[in-house]
Amino acid sequence: MKPTFFITGTDTGVGKTVLTVLLAQFLREQGVKVAALKPVCSGGRDDAVALHAALDGKLTLDEINPWHFRAPIAPAYAAKLENKKLKLSAVRAHISVWQKNSDVTLVEGAGGLLSPLGEDFDSRDLIVALCATPIIVAQNRLGAVNHILLTLAALPKNLRARAKVVLMSPARPDFATATNTKLLVQFFPPEQIFELPRFGKFFLSAKVFKQPRLKRTLSALVAA
């Protein structure tokens, strides 16, 4: 089976889109045929627009993000406000098209792992349905370890064993920023934990990819 990675997070605004953009651009630079999708979103399509740019228009905006709802709340409830229904089977079917036609598929979730996406399903259900490798993104600050461990505990055992964790440097590091990884390795394999510096929402790929350490980290994230 061609690899599928599902980028989820401990919360909204933790850096899922930044990581998905970096992975998409890195894979394209390596000559890999990659699809980067954010199938469901609410409150705006900025994340999907960023993925569209990262793919250099190889997928249309509606192929990347076929379901978008206006209210800036959990997608399941935002859809209900518009009298729309969204089922797991429809989302899975859309993603499966790109799984077949791509070497690697990146799927970005909306909000945290258990944030409701549609009728009786969330990102965890979608990860299971896609047999995807979870990548959990968290802001590297006080409280991150608790949020990461709760997210890992919510995953089925087989997916938890394959999961990878990415700690994104926050705008304002605190004392925990330098110690979270040391604490987390007591509970989770160190080779599955990664740290990335802060890039902000806007960054130049040509500049950031000059960092060999970044390339090594991204390569390890998408390794089998």
The CATH number of the domain where 120 resides is what?
Answer: 3.40.50.300
Calpha distance 219→164 (Å, rounded): 13
pTM of the model: 0.95
The total number of structural domains in the chain stands at 1
Our CA dihedral for 29, 35, 38, 39, rounded to 10 degrees, sits at 170
* H-type alpha helices, the chain: 16-29, 46-54, 61-64, 75-81, 88-101, 123-130, 144-154, 157-162, 180-184, 205-208, 212-221
Catalytic positions: 38
pLDDT (tens digit per residue) in 139-151: 999 999 999 999 9
**Which domain range does residue 31 map to?**
4-221
Query: Region 193-222: what's the mean pLDDT?
Result: 84
Paired tokens of 38: 């954010």
Query: Pairing state of beta strands 193-196 and 164-168?
Result: parallel
Query: Region 36-47: what's the mean pLDDT?
Result: 96
| pLDDT at residue 204 tops 70 | no
| pLDDT at residue 50 tops 80 | yes
Contact residues for 1 (Cβ-Cβ < 8 A; gap 6+): 131
Given a contact cutoff of 8 angstroms between Cβ atoms, the answer to whether 107 and 4 are in contact is yes
